């Protein structure tokens, strides 16, 4: 998602159905209480869910 890929492309790369990817993205957005993919990206950044560019991971990123 971070690379701007469409759900169908993500699905092919992960060997999942397009619908499965749509459901998972929608659920992640519900958990982070945002509407829209852009807002989701911002929220993921705020929570530090993906770690940092230096490869370290943040373990306290809570979705609740």
Q: What does the pLDDT look like over 26-64, one tens digit per residue?
A: 999 999 999 999 999 999 999 888 866 665 555 454 554
Confidence (pTM): 0.69
Sole residue written with tokens 């397009």: 18
Whose tokens are 């998972």? That residue is 24
Query: What pLDDT sits at residue 54?
Result: 61
Q: What pLDDT is attached to residue 49?
A: 83
SS (H, E, C) the chain: CCCCCCHHHHHHHHCCCHHHHHHHHHHHHHHCCCCCHHHHHHHHHHHCCCCCCCCCCCCCCCCC
Torsion of CA 44, 36, 14, 2, to 10 degrees: -50
């Amino acid at each position: 998602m971070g690379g701007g890929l469409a759900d169908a492309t993500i699905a092919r790369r992960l060997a999942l159905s397009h619908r499965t990817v749509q459901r998972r993205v929608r659920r992640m957005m519900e958990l982070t209480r945002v509407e829209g993919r852009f807002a989701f990206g911002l929220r993921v950044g705020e929570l530090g869910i993906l770690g940092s560019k230096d490869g370290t991971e943040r373990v306290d990123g809570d979705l609740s």
